[in-house]
Amino acid sequence: MKEEISKTYDQSKESEIYKLWEESGYFNPDNLKGEHFTIIMPPSNANGSVHVGHALGFTLQDIMIRYHRMLGRKTLWLPGTDHAGFETQVVFEKKLDKTGRSRFQMTREEFYKEVWEFVQQYKTLTEQSIRRMGASADWSRNIFTLDPRIIKIVYETFEQMYNDGLIYRGNRISNWCTKHQTGLADLETTREERTDPLYYIKYGPLTLATVRPETKFGDTGLAVNSKDPRYKKYIGQEIEATGLLGKFKIKVIADDLVDKDFGTGVVKVTPAHDATDYEIWLKHKDEIPGPKQVIDKRGKMDLPGTKYHGLKVAEARKIVAEDLEKAGLIEKIDETYKHNVALCYKCKNVIEPLIIPQWYVAMTKKLADGRPSLRDIAVEAVKSKKIKINPHRFEKVYMHWMKNIKDWPISRQIWWGIPIPVWYKGEEIKISENSPGVGWTQDPDTFDTWFSSGQWPYATLMAQGEKDFETFYPTQVMETGWDIMFFWVARMVMFGLYKTGKVPFEHVYLHGLVRDKDRQKMSKSKGNVIDPLGITDQYGVDALRMALVVGNLPGNDLPLAEDKVRGYRNFANKIWNAARFVMQNTEGYDPEAKLTSADKKILKDLQTIVKNNTKRLDKFDFAHAAEDLYHYFWHTFADKIIEESKPKLADEKTKASAQRMLMEVLETNLKLLHPFMPFVTEAIWQLNHKDLLMIQKWPEKV
RNA sequence: GGACGGUUAGCUCAGUGGUAGAGCGACUGAUUGACGUUCAGUAGGUCGAAGGUUCAAUCCCUUCACCGUCCACCA
């Protein structure tokens, strides 16, 4: 046996080892006993290849899973993929664009079918990549967000919430992306500071400041602050003014949303095209007319019969400003005005606030039977520590967001997604997956992806059958990136508590983003992307896993350089060779040999490592756990214990003790290292064992 | 406009109320011996600034500076 062990660790055998594990059946908790330990894998978006950020998530989750499996728990790691509605549609439309096609030239059915095929390819690819990372997930329970079992549960929840009055259809102002032709939640917009001209426009006796003169055709009122002495006399009055389309009358109202100190202290109220104005109108419905739409969904002026009709908003703004200037209606222009503009988070086009009917989930509304609002149950779960967020500081961020939460628009005007199961016939509304009969038409919209993925923890388990749900829910840990805490984690908490009465998970672990060695975000255009599969082929998965874990504290971004991966490849080889040394020198050793006091001391010190490491894993302190093991193995075990064992092995009096000691230290280390570096440790274990290291009992704390 | 995080060795980051640590990098030396994907060693830091608490502060408090991030309806 000794001679057969190669001098360097051969990572090309990793896929064979994975096969060994997978075929053993121990990824499936049905073959395990004990108390349950569950992690639901965040479903990967099936629209591209896995990147190193995914690899980080898989690694951290696999560490927890392998650790708990070795502790003797009935351990389930349930994998899945996400259709990722909007995200995927955007990716796919870009692809269409490259070949000169567009979804607007296709039928909805054609489009859906093509995206489905596209997603299937990536789904398979993603699942292979997850395996390549060593993920010990239960593939027998693998599930897709568009699985009929999931859709059924999503529909049930929708109906239940509708009946509870938590879901309603509202015709109100929403963020509209003119490129993607869909409404978006506030979270799906970003803001960018811009410098735009601020026009001071005359409205009869008054002057007001605006950056959007083109929307003046949609004005239905003017507003001032009630405490502003300058304008007291105008409140409630109709003033007469001259505009580009002739004379008009407009009413002045008082609203405290108006800041006296901004501009002239007068604002125009354009409820159809501005969120604040819309809100002002809601409070003054009796005083001023409602929204008057002058911009359409394509972001073009909708003013038939005028010269502005059909102009894009940006063009119209220029022309309107010029015309106002010519007509002597501009008092001045402030060219240095800085303000934040809302953009679509995907295409960075300016969001056009428009009134579009959307479905909403009420966040702060109490239920008729007295149950607290979704927001309140989600706040309580964290406050009462039923859910703990790691790092702790994110609990503050979570609370702050909850405090300011607004109703969540869940309908999207996109095609790729779960259709909204609502049918209309005149004024009648019915919730149903299939047509209720002749004359009914279905709502054309689809759900926001997060409406389905928000239900993931219970939906994935319920989809497997009632028994799985009872056995594995609530889950123990949700491990994901901090960047989707609001999008996803917060929603899962609400849905989970609403639907099951229990928290969906006990712990949230938020990892940081992986960046390049200069802390830059990885992006294809910068060419600084580290491809996890490529790096894995070169250095082995274990090396990548260690590089991702060591030095990576929760919530902090992680700079990753290839050098670091190379360093841990060296470590994997070190482990291999230390093991080779031990095996070559312990042939036929006596596991019961009497220990010398020096060797006893070594084993006692090892207990401290076991104890500390276990404690660290229990506290989710993976970075330090990994670093400690690295140090102990290399600088204590390899550099000192093994070196010092050489004379001991040469002396017949101390040989038996040294052999036993070396083997015990090695095997304990293999077990401790296994969650972090499963492949090299298992490969070594397989050299002299018939069973799997993966299911060995975790070293006892003494 | 709010809030949060950071500022420690050339780089990336740990850490502790009691004369500062790791990895990588640099430098010097060793070496056919489990491993050169190695070993031994050296250099390198007034722990962002100023105050305060303390016998003692890099660590606690206050203020400030700079960097970063998130949230936000001032048109």
Per-residue pLDDT tens digits for A483-538: 899 999 999 999 999 999 999 999 999 998 888 776 777 766 667 778 889 999 99
Query: Sheet of A352-361: strands edge to edge?
Result: A182-184, A167-177, A352-361, A408-409
Q: A349 CA to B41 C1', in Å? A: 59
A35 pLDDT above the threshold of 60: yes
A175 strand B contact, CB < 7 Å:
no
Cα A266 to Cα A262: distance, rounded to the nearest angstrom: 8
Q: Which nucleotide is at minimal CA–C1' distance from A209?
A: B75
Task: Say if pTM beats, i.e. exceeds, 0.90.
Answer: yes
Cα A254 to Cα A250: distance, rounded to the nearest angstrom: 13
Nucleotides of B under 7 A from a protein CB: 3-5, 11-14, 22-25, 34-40, 70-75
Protein residue closest to B33, using CA and C1': A646
Q: Which nucleotide is at minimal CA–C1' distance from A519?
A: B12
Describe the crossing of helices A490-500 and A456-464 by its angle, rounded to 10 degrees. 50
Q: A493 CA to B65 C1', in Å? A: 40
Q: A120 CA to B34 C1', in Å? A: 47
Average pLDDT, integer, range A436-447: 94
Quick one: pLDDT band at residue A2, thresholds 50, 70, 90?
very low
DSSP, residue by residue, A80-143: EEE--HHHHHHHHHHHHHHTT--GGGS-HHHHHHHHHHHHHHHHHHHHHHHHHTT----GGG-E
A701 CB-contact burial (10 Å; exposed 0-12 / middle 13-18 / buried 19+):
exposed
Instruction: Look at residue A182 in the predicted model and tell me its pLDDT.
Output: 94
Average pLDDT, integer, range A182-200: 91
Q: Which nucleotide is at minimal CA–C1' distance from A552?
A: B13
Instruction: Give me the A residues in range 431-470 that sit within 7 A (CB) of strand B.
Output: none
A631 strand B contact, CB < 7 Å:
yes
A268 strand B contact, CB < 7 Å:
yes
Average pLDDT, integer, range A5-20: 90
Instruction: Look at residue A524 in the predicted model and tell me its pLDDT.
Output: 67
CA distances to A143, A221, A571, A576 from A11, in Å? 30, 72, 13, 11
A226 strand B contact, CB < 7 Å:
no
A441-442 and A422-425: which strand pairing?
antiparallel
Cα A344 to Cα A418: distance, rounded to the nearest angstrom: 22
Q: Which nucleotide is at minimal CA–C1' distance from A403?
A: B71
β partners of residue A478 = A508
Cα dihedral A672, A676, A680, A683 sign: positive
Structure tokens at A102: 């567009």
Instruction: Look at residue A531 in the predicted model and tell me its pLDDT.
Output: 86
Average pLDDT, integer, range A440-467: 96
Instruction: Give me the A residues in range 476-515 that sit within 7 A (CB) of strand B.
Output: 486
Instruction: Give me the A residues in range 638-667 that sit within 7 A (CB) of strand B.
Output: 638-639, 642-643
Average pLDDT, integer, range A591-606: 93
Q: Which nucleotide is at minimal CA–C1' distance from A643?
A: B34
Instruction: Give me the A residues in range 196-215 that sit within 7 A (CB) of strand B.
Output: 209-212
Q: A256 CA to B48 C1', in Å? A: 43
Q: A601 CA to B34 C1', in Å? A: 23
Residue A213's closest CA among A334, A36, A86, A112?
Answer: A334
Average pLDDT, integer, range A197-224: 93
Q: A483 CA to B68 C1', in Å? A: 15
A627 strand B contact, CB < 7 Å:
yes
Q: A636 CA to B37 C1', in Å? A: 19
Instruction: Look at residue A561 in the predicted model and tell me its pLDDT.
Output: 85
Helix (H, G, I), strand (E, B) or coil at A253: strand
Q: A11 CA to B61 C1', in Å? A: 53
Tell me the average pLDDT of chain A: 92
A1 pLDDT above the threshold of 50: no
A573 strand B contact, CB < 7 Å:
yes
Note the pLDDT tens digit of each residue in A645-671: 999 999 999 999 999 999 999 999 999
Note the pLDDT tens digit of each residue in A164-190: 999 999 989 999 999 999 999 999 999
Residue A579's closest CA among A12, A7, A18?
Answer: A7
Q: A553 CA to B21 C1', in Å? A: 17
A634 strand B contact, CB < 7 Å:
yes
A372 strand B contact, CB < 7 Å:
no
Average pLDDT, integer, range A152-174: 95
Other C-beta atoms closer than 10 Å to the C-beta of A177 total 26
Note the pLDDT tens digit of each residue in A61-103: 999 999 999 999 999 999 999 999 999 999 999 999 999 999 8
Q: Is the peptide bond before A42 cis (omega within 30 degrees of 0)?
A: no
The ipTM, to two decimals, is 0.93
Q: Which nucleotide is at minimal CA–C1' distance from A483?
A: B70
A107 strand B contact, CB < 7 Å:
no
Protein residue closest to B14, using CA and C1': A551
